[in-house]
Structure 1
Amino acid sequence: MTKQDTNDEQDVVETSGARSRDMGRKAAASAFLGSMVEYYDFFLFGTAAALVFGPQFFGPLGTTGGLLASFATFGVAYVARPLGAIVFGTLGDRLGRKKALTLALNMMGLSTFLIGFLPTYSAMGMLAPALLVIMRLFQGLSAGGEQAGSNALALEHAPTGKRGVYTSWSMQGTVFGSLLASLVFVAATSLPDDLFMSWGWRLPFFLAGPLMLIALYVRSQVAETESFVHVSSANDTSTLPLVAVFRDYWKALLRVIVCNFLSVVSTTLGVYALSFATGTAGVGANQFLLAGMGGSIVCLIAQPLWARLSDRVGRRPIMSGSLLLVAALWFPYFGAIASGNVLLIAGCVAVLMLAFSGANSVQASFYAEQFPAKVRYTGMAIGMQLGILLGGFTPAIQAALAGEGTGGWVGPAAFAAVMCLVAAAGAWSARETANASLDDLDTTYEPDATSSSKVLAQTDSSATG
C-alpha cells in the first residue's frame, strides 16, 4: 500500500467519523425537541385542567364536580400511555425508529393544537367534553411512544463513549418543555380574567403547532439508526416485539418498571406538594411555583454534567446514588414546606432537584441499554409506561397517608422515599452497560446466549480494574 493510499483511507475514516458525529448531534437535537413538545403539550393540559377545563367543558357539574371531571380527563392519558407504548414500540422495532417517532410527534402536536379550537359546553353541549377526552386519548397514545423512541434514536446514533451525554438530551427536553408550558401559561393568565376564560387560554395550545413543525423538520434530517438497519437487513426483527419482551427479556422489563418508580418524584413535586403547600401550609401558589421553576433550571444545568459523568464511572452508581439522596431529601423538603418559609423551600427544592437530575438524566441511556436493538423500543416503552402508572396514583396515595395539619407530611414523604429506595435497588441490580458497545449489548442480551453472556462482565471488570 502506498503512502497516498494510506492517506486516502485515513481521510475516508475521518470523513465517516465526522458524519457520524454530525448525525449524533442531529439525533440528540431531535430527541430534545420531540420530548420538549411532548412535555409541553402534556403539562399544558394538566395546567388547563386545574384552571380552565372545569367551567369551560363541565360547567353543569358545578365547581367541585367540574374540577373532578377535568382531573379525570387528565388521567385518561395514563390509561392510554401503555397502549401507545405497545403500538409505537412495535412500529419502531418493525418499521424503524424514525417512522414511529414522526407519527408520534404528529399525533401529540396536532391533538394539542386542535384543543385550542374546541367548542365549549355552552356552544356544543356534551360533544365538547367528548372531543376533549378524544384529544387527551391521542395525547396519551403518543406520549407512550415518544420518549422511549427518542431515547433509542439518540442512543443508537451517539458516538462511542458518549451515549449518556447524547441520550440525556431527551430528558433535557422533558424539563424544558414543562418549564416552557409554565411560562406560557403564566403569560396567558396575565390577561384580564374575562379575556383569559373566553379565548386567552387557547393561545398556549396554538403554540403547539409551530413547535411541532420545528421538531418535525429537525427529525426529518435524522437518518435511521445503523442498529435498526442492521437488524432489519439481517431479517432479525421480531414479528411480535411485545411477546418477545415478556418471554425473553422479562427481567430487563421488570427492572425498567421498578426503576421508573422514580416517576413519583415528579408527581409528588408537581401535585401533592403543591396541594400541601397551598392548602395546609399557607404558601402562596405563585411563590411555590416560582420555587419549582428554580429547581427546573438547576436540573437543566446539572443533567448534562451527570450524564457525562455516567459515561466515565457508569450508569449504576449515578442512578442508584442519586435516588438514595432523593429518598433522604424528602424529609427536609416537606419540613421546609411545613415551615412556610419560601426561601427555605426554594433552597430545598434546588438541592432535591440537583440530586434527582442525576437519575433523571441517566435513565434514558440506562433503560435503552437494557434491551437489544430488535426489541429496544418496545421493551423500553412498555417498562417506562408501566412504571409511570405508580406516579399517576402517587398523589392519591399520599393524600390517604397524610395526617392532620402541617405535621401530616411524614406519611407522604416516607412513601416517596421508599419508592425511591426501591428504584435505586432496581438500578443496582443491573449489569454495568456504560462501557459496552451496542454490538456487545445485542449479543449479551440474546435469550439463548451462553458464552457470549460474559461480554458485559468482562467489560465491567476492565472498567473497574
Structure 2
Amino acid sequence: MQTTVQGSPTRQPGRAAFAAFVGTTIEWYDFYIYATASALVFGKLFFPQGDSFYSTLASFGTFAVGFFARPFGGLVFGHLGDRIGRKKALVATLAIMGIGTVGIGFLPTYASAGALAPVLLVLLRVAQGIAIGGEWGGAVLMAGEHAPKAKRTFLASFAQLGSPAGLILALLAFRTVGHMPKEQLMDWGWRVPFLLSAVLLIVGIFIRSGVSESPEFAAAAKREKPARLPILDVLSNAWGKVLLCLGANVIGVAGAWFCNTFMLSFTTETLGISRSLMLDCLFIVAFVHFFNQLFSGWLAQRVGAKKFLAWAAGLAMLSPYPMFILVSTGKPLAIVVGIAITVMCMSGSYAVMAGLMTDAFDVRYRYSAISLSYQSCAALAGGLTPIIGTVLAHAWPGQWWPLAVFYSALAAVSLLCLLGLQTNKSDVRSPATVVVPE
C-alpha cells in the first residue's frame, strides 16, 4: 500500500535544505575554528613544551578527542531522532555545540591555570564532539527526507555544504585575528572566533525552528510505533552496510582534515611557509570546496551516486602527488592549485555520500544507522589523520612521499567499500512507501 504525506508545503524541501545548510555551517564553523586553533596556537597556549613536535601532537590529541566523542553523540541523538523526531534532536545539538564553543573562548590558558586549562579544554571538546556527532545525521535526513526522490542526492548535499561554508567563516575569522601582532593574538585575539559563535547560534536556532518535521519520519511514526532501541534494528538488519558506508566515507572525512588541518601545520612548521600565506591560500581553496560540492551533488543526481563516488575516490588516489609537488614550491598560486586539485576529488565524495546513505537504510532506524556509520568513520579517519600525518612528517623529515602514499591508501579504502556497496543487497524496507510531493 502507498502512503502519501499530506500537508507538506511546496517550499518545505527547499527550506529544509537551506536550514540544514545553515545549521551545519554553524556547527562546522565551531569545529573548524577549533581545528585551526589546534594547528596554530593551542599547542603553545595549553601544552607548552620545549619541542614543538610534542606540543603540536598534544594539541592534535585534543582535536582527536572531539572525533572520538562523535560516535557517542551519533548514538544518543540517532536514538532520539528515530524515536521522537529529527527536528527536536537538531535543536539540541546546535545548542550544545554553541555552548561548548563559546566556553572555549572563556578558558584560562596553561600559564594562568596550569594543568586545569587543558582538562577544561578537553571537556569542552568532548561537548563539541557529541554535538556534531548528533547534528550531521539529522541535518542530512531533514534535507533528504523532505526532498522528492528525483532531487534527493542534490538536496541532501546541501547539508554537506555546511562543511566548506563553515571552513570559509572559520578561516575568515582566523585571517582577521591572524594579522594581529603575535602577542595580542596569543593573549586574547584567538578567543574572538570562539566568542562569535554565540551570534551564529541564535541565528541557527531561529532558522531551524521554521522547518517542519521530516515527512518520511512523520508517516513512519503514524504507521507503527518506533522501536525502543533503533540501534538494535540497525545491527540486526544492516550491520554489513553500516561497515561499507563507514569505509566509503573515509576519503571525504579524512581528506578534509588532511587538507585543511594537517597541511596547515605541515606547511608552516616543516616547509617554513608563513601562517598568513597558508590561511589566505586555504581561504581561496575553501570557495573551490564549496562550489565543487554544489556541482558534485547536481552531477551525481544525473549520472548516479555510486558511479560518481567511485570515480571521485579513484581520482583522489592520484591527487596528493601533484598537490605536494606544487605546495613544496612555496608559491601562492601553486599552493592554491595543488590543494584545490586534492580538495575537488575529496569534496565531491563528501557531498554525494549524504544522499547515498539516506537511501541506503530503512526510515525506522535511518538516523541511528547513518550516524553510527559516519561518526565511527569520523572518529577513526578524521580524528587520527592529523596525528598520523604529524608522526609521518616527523619520521621522514622534509619528505612528502610517505604523506602522499598515506592519502592514497585512504582513498583506496573508500573505493573498495563503494564497490562493495554496489553489490550489497538493500536492507529490509518498511512495507509502505512514502511519497513526498514534488
Give your verdict on TM over 0.5. yes
Structure 1, 71-80 or 283-292: larger mean CA deviation: 283-292
Deviation at 1:194, TM superposition (A): 3.3
1:253 aligns with 2:242: yes
C-alpha distance 404-419 of structure 1, shift in aligned 2 (>3 A): closer
The C-alpha deviation readout for 1:270-329, integer Å capped at 9, x for no partner, is 244334433443433333332222222112122222211222221011111111111112
C-alpha distance 54-288 of structure 1, shift in aligned 2 (>3 A): closer
1:397 aligns with 2:388: yes
> What's the counterpart of residue 460 of structure 1?
none
The question of whether the paired residues in 2 share the 8 Å contact of 1:259 and 1:427 is answered with: yes
Structure 1, 45-54 or 26-35: larger mean CA deviation: 45-54
> What's the counterpart of residue 109 of structure 1?
98
The question of whether the paired residues in 2 share the 8 Å contact of 1:57 and 1:128 is answered with: yes
- The letter of the residue matching 2:189 is G
Which SS does the other structure have where 2:360 is aligned? coil
CA distance in 2, matches of 1:192, 1:279: 19
The question of whether the paired residues in 2 share the 8 Å contact of 1:54 and 1:63 is answered with: no
Q: How does 1:374-413 map to 2 (within 5 A)?
A: 374-388=364-378, 389-401=380-392, 404=396, 406=398, 408-413=399-404
- The letter of the residue matching 2:349 is A
Taking structure 1 as the reference length, what is the TM-score of the superposition?
0.84
The question of whether the paired residues in 2 share the 8 Å contact of 1:35 and 1:171 is answered with: yes
The question of whether the paired residues in 2 share the 8 Å contact of 1:261 and 1:419 is answered with: yes
CA distance in 2, matches of 1:296, 1:335: 20
Paired residues, number? 425
Q: Which runs of 5+ in 1 are unaligned?
A: 1-12, 434-440, 456-465
1:153 aligns with 2:142: yes
The question of whether the paired residues in 1 share the 8 Å contact of 2:13 and 2:147 is answered with: yes
The question of whether the paired residues in 2 share the 8 Å contact of 1:21 and 1:159 is answered with: no
C-alpha distance 448-202 of structure 1, shift in aligned 2 (>3 A): closer
CA distance in 1, matches of 2:195, 2:365: 36
The question of whether the paired residues in 1 share the 8 Å contact of 2:262 and 2:389 is answered with: yes
CA distance in 2, matches of 1:341, 1:182: 20
> What's the counterpart of residue 334 of structure 1?
324
CA distance in 1, matches of 2:305, 2:44: 46
Larger radius of gyration: 1
> What's the counterpart of residue 13 of structure 2?
24
Taking structure 2 as the reference length, what is the TM-score of the superposition?
0.89
Structure 1, 228-237 or 84-93: larger mean CA deviation: 228-237
C-alpha distance 124-281 of structure 1, shift in aligned 2 (>3 A): closer
The question of whether the paired residues in 1 share the 8 Å contact of 2:157 and 2:354 is answered with: yes
Q: Which runs of 5+ in 2 are unaligned?
A: 434-438
How many percent identity over aligned positions? 34
Structure 1, 136-145 or 197-206: larger mean CA deviation: 197-206
Which SS does the other structure have where 1:446 is aligned? coil
The question of whether the paired residues in 2 share the 8 Å contact of 1:81 and 1:142 is answered with: yes
> What's the counterpart of residue 166 of structure 2?
177
CA distance in 2, matches of 1:108, 1:88: 13
> What's the counterpart of residue 410 of structure 2?
419
Q: How does 1:297-376 map to 2 (within 5 A)?
A: 297-376=287-366
1:142 aligns with 2:124: no
- The letter of the residue matching 1:266 is A
Which SS does the other structure have where 1:239 is aligned? coil
C-alpha distance 339-127 of structure 1, shift in aligned 2 (>3 A): closer
Structure 1, 210-219 or 70-79: larger mean CA deviation: 70-79
1:97 aligns with 2:50: no
CA distance in 1, matches of 2:336, 2:190: 28
> What's the counterpart of residue 268 of structure 2?
278
Higher RCO (CA < 8 A, seq sep 6+): 2
The question of whether the paired residues in 1 share the 8 Å contact of 2:67 and 2:383 is answered with: yes
CA distance in 2, matches of 1:114, 1:399: 28
Which of the residues 245, 248, 256 maps onto 1:266?
A: 256
CA distance in 2, matches of 1:120, 1:81: 25
CA distance in 2, matches of 1:67, 1:118: 19
Q: RMSD of the TM alignment (CA)?
A: 2.7
